[in-house]
Amino acid sequence: MARPAKNSKPMTNAERQHQYRLRQKLDILDGQRRLNTFIDGRADMDLRLLARHHGLSQKAMLEKLINDAHNAIVDSMEPKSSEWCEYFQADRPRSGELV
């Protein structure tokens, strides 16, 4: 991902974007991950309202909602139970399962 030598042809916009996305994938030092998705218009509005109500950014609000939901589920389970083990295996796609 080094810059091209001064004598070489400049990168196209597509090449620059490709290099940027590669750096984003590899840059995990700060623990951040990119989440690209489309959501329903109502959910978008609700997220904006929740974030404003709590004085948070949409990113911080989404992280809080996800973390709170996860913690509520985990706190309701007996550690190492079959339910607990199944839950923590959910991040691994099953055979033939779409991710």
* 42 in a structural domain: no
pLDDT at 84: 92
Domain that residue 84 falls in: 57-92
Sequence-ordered list of residues with C-beta below 8 angstroms from that of 83, at least 6 positions apart, any chain: 77
Kindly state whether residue 15 falls inside one of the protein's structural domains.
no
Q: Which pLDDT score is estimated for 96? A: 54
Neighbours of 50 (CB within 10 A): 15
pTM for the predicted model, two decimal places = 0.64
Mean pLDDT of 11-32: 80
Q: Rounded CA gap, 10 and 19, in Å?
A: 13
pLDDT tens string 63-99 = 999 999 999 999 999 999 999 999 988 766 655 555 5
88 within some domain: yes
pLDDT given for residue 6 in this prediction: 65
Q: How many domains does the chain have?
A: 1
Q: In this structure, is residue 80 part of a structural domain?
A: yes
DSSP 81: S
Task: Tell me if 47 sits within 8 A of 58, measured CB to CB.
Answer: yes
Rounded CA separation 44/50 (Å): 10
Residue 43 has pLDDT above 80, yes or no: yes
